[in-house]
Structure 1
């Protein structure tokens, strides 16, 4: 390998470290980028069963291919107004770590836009004031197509 190839490989490695593959989803008027490594599948809404005594943002469970998984409504966790499902509503099934164990959770999305890459190089500081959400719920904020996009910390939100 010559030096030029080595430098090109190093530049590619640095470039790859700054990009993150995400699934872009909408909740209300807000745009969120979910780490694609956490996403297992995206499904149409299915019937949900309410669970007595559950947390308000995890009100029910759904059956996904024979697996009973909790269904999270992040709008409740973020203090956003509730909405009825529409033709664009989807459930994003993610896998997060809870107590050191992997757990599947369905997350309601008002719409799923696309799978894309965002740059970690454009990370913006999370404001401590003026936001309706707890700062610990946000991993970081970055730009995508000239818009600010929130990358939520799903493990903190759902634990």
Structure 2
């Protein structure tokens, strides 16, 4: 398994990213939402997760401090985002035929190791549903807020936070 970083001008790579993202319904309400998604893709780092010669997943990391992370715009959560160099994990989607606990934990190990070895990122945050939060807690991320209500969402969300070093220590 390996990660492939996709640049903003890689049309073929982003076509694959969009295809994988379609496995998870994210509501884009209007052109403004689409523009924000494009800004997040451009500012952040977008990856394909590859296994045995094919893309099996994707995720995006977006730095805080630009008003583009969910944590920065959700009332009462934004005050918890005070850690410098925090990057929010977004749009984590795995192909349905590759979703298993074993595979997902291997992906988390790959992501964390890549971050440790290739970036100066020291801290990650995530806002996710209950099922993903349960998986992320296994990696060492801590729940800072739970039962967060988002407009037009049919589920509660959780806010998690953790250091890359602590996650590596837990997973490796």
TM-score range, shorter chain: under 0.3
Higher strand share: 1
Normalised to the residue count of structure 2, the TM-score between the two structures is 0.23
Higher helix share: 2
Normalised to the residue count of structure 1, the TM-score between the two structures is 0.24
Larger Rg: 1
